[in-house]
Amino acid sequence: MAQTVARPTAHAPAVPATLPLRAIAPWAVFFGVLMLVLLYFVGAEQGATSVVNGTDVHEWVHDARHLLGFPCH
């Protein structure tokens, strides 16, 4: 049984060492805003600044509120 070794003939393109800030900034802003919205719904919804009427949001995020240290009772 003969075995052969395949040798690559072309080199793969090099991966850039750093990413430019222009490539990262839009994603960082997007995720930052997303985290602020999630933090609002977990921590501040159901009060004077309530966006959604009723207690549905409160019930959905109730355990997360206690886990993060927000009082809700």
DSSP 20-51: -HHHHHHHHHHHHHHHHHHHHHHHTSSSTT-S
| pTM beyond 0.75, yes or no | no
Both structure tokens of 59: 């019930």
pLDDT tens-digit profile of 11-69?
767 776 787 889 899 999 999 999 998 888 777 777 667 777 777 777 888 888 888 88
Q: Looking at the domain assignment, is residue 20 inside a domain?
A: no
Number of independent structural domains in the chain: 1
Q: Looking at the domain assignment, is residue 53 inside a domain?
A: yes
Supply the range of the domain harboring residue 70: 41-73
pLDDT of residue 29: 97
pLDDT of residue 11: 72
